[in-house]
Amino acid sequence: ESFSVKIGNRFTMVKPFPISISFTLKDYERDGGEVPDASELLRQHGINGQQFGIGVDRIDYTKGLLEKFLAVERFFEKYPKYTGKFTFVQIGAPSRSLLKTYSDTISAVENEANRINWKFKSKNWQPILFLKKHHSHEEIIPFYRSASFCMVTSLHDGMNLVAKEFIAERDNNDGTLILSQFAGASHELHGALIINPYDIEKSADAIKTALEMPIETQQQKMKQMRRMVMSHNVYSWASAILRTMSSIQT
């Protein structure tokens, strides 16, 4: 009730401070210039396609990458008209690969991407482009800006800043965010399509919804989320911590 724990005569305050990113009014109002062409980004990786979705994660068992790929597979099974036109791009940063649990996860994710690609691929097209390496933020920005949607399928996540980074790069207020209900960001980003990543069927349908969402609806939802990220940025996060600490009576 009072966000505090009492042991003996000592009180300890326990308060939530949802972390964010550096996204200011200046960033919000900027003219982002020309958006990279989606088909050109895909061609750079030998894929002919018109649209892509993006996922950016550490390769970690909490990020739901296997569930995400199963949703992509089910999407193509249910909606084959997107075959040859749409590709899902997953940027995956290897994590703690010296630990067996993590190296097994990396192998499992890679094997699943290969299995699905062999199932659907055709000449110069494949359903999943798995980019397994560390990327700088500058390398990721073109994917954020050109993707039709960003998909976050965390099975357990304190916040997930990728969701907010994607929103910050959508200067044209378009695009859609598909967001796991198990990511902390789902409590703040009410314009996202919220999914349970264990529900493969509904996650596949969310991909279709994102690709076919009218531009007016996209812009309404994206503007709402961009305003939220701007007003609750990393500076307001730090300020809230300092204000709370200074108000505590010792």
Q: Are 156 and 62 in contact (CB under 8 A)?
A: yes
Determine whether 48 is exposed, middle or buried from the number of CB atoms within 10 Å of its CB (0-12, 13-18, 19+). middle
pTM, two decimal places: 0.92
**pLDDT tens across the length of the chain (250 residues):** 778 898 998 888 888 899 999 999 888 888 777 888 999 999 999 999 999 999 999 999 999 999 999 999 999 999 999 999 999 999 999 877 778 888 899 999 999 999 999 999 999 999 999 999 999 999 999 999 999 999 999 999 989 999 999 999 999 999 999 999 999 999 999 999 999 999 999 999 999 999 999 999 999 999 999 999 999 999 999 999 999 888 877 6
Residue keyed to tokens 């990020």: 63
- d(Cα 103, Cα 96) in Å, to the nearest integer? 8
